[in-house]
Amino acid sequence: MTAWLATNLIALALLPPLSLALLLAAGLIIHRRRPRLAMSLILLSTTALYALSTPWVGGLLQKSLEISRPVSPAALKSAGAIVVLGGGRRIGAAEYGSDTLNGLSLERLRYAVFLHRASGLPLLVTGGKPGGGTQPEGRIMQHILQEDYGIAPRWVEDGALTTWDNARRSAPLLEHSGVHRIVLVTHAWHLRRAVPLFESQGLTVVPAGIQFSSTRLDSPLDLMPTPAGLRDSTFALHEWLGILWYKLRSNL
């Protein structure tokens, strides 16, 4: 078992919905011997599942991770490059006959193209093959940029398995070209974890987030459980778990 797989299995067990399913199962198993504790576990798991599945709670959790506002045109002028973090792949996509980017990666790449056209800054794409597959994220992003947008990235990093890898593998490529200040493109909820990792490599970072969250209750539907609400909550909790893990690892 690889370290990447072991880490992700542990994360799955700590995050919803699996963590809540485990709590529910524990309550059902012990309900004869410890009925009060069992009822507490069942109520906790079902209440948490309901709350975390609402778009409003998902928005609150993601908003807690945001560290910046949308990037301004003035901030782009002082940077030397735009760095795009891969957000995942679809391995063996049947319609393409090969690996391709998932929705998160495509959203980041499209925004990076928007910033590139507004500023003229060169692009660095980064991402490897976490979970296997045949093509790393960095190479897929390079292909899409060239084929769909007519843009060739200046740097391609294709070995990173984690956000920490993105930072430590990208920094030497940038430094070799004399770039010390970057525009970092990823989802707004990912920047709290990503920015310090790039800064630890000696880079100055201009955060360029996408999909900023709302905490308003615009409709009663915002308090109804939905698959999208649970997805947003899980993304946010995954980020807080990752931040905690990096802090613990840095203190070891």
Q: What is the pLDDT of residues 128-155, one digit of tens each?
A: 999 899 999 999 999 999 999 999 999 9
Q: Supply φ then ψ for residue 232, to 5 degrees.
A: -65, -40
pTM of the model: 0.94
pLDDT in tens for each of the 252 residues of the chain?
577 788 889 999 999 999 999 999 999 999 999 999 999 999 999 999 999 999 999 999 999 999 999 999 999 999 999 999 999 999 999 999 999 999 999 999 999 999 999 999 999 999 999 989 999 999 999 999 999 999 999 999 999 999 999 999 999 999 999 999 999 999 999 999 999 999 999 999 999 999 999 999 989 999 999 999 999 999 999 999 999 998 888 776
Count of Cβ atoms closer than 10 Å to residue 247 Cβ: 10
Burial class from Cβ neighbours inside 10 Å (0-12, 13-18, 19+) for residue 223 reads middle
- How many angstroms separate the CA atoms of 25 and 32, rounded? 13
In the chain, CATH 3.40.50.620 covers: 73-210
Is there a contact between 69 and 77 (Cβ–Cβ < 8 Å)? no
Express each pLDDT in 159-188 by its tens digit: 999 999 999 999 999 999 999 999 999 999
Residue 105 has a pLDDT of 98
Cα–Cα distances in angstroms (integers) from residue 158 to residues 40, 207, 229, in the given order: 47, 22, 32
Residue 23 has a pLDDT of 96
Residue 248 has a pLDDT of 87
Identify the CATH number of the domain defined by range 73-210: 3.40.50.620
Residue 7 has a pLDDT of 84
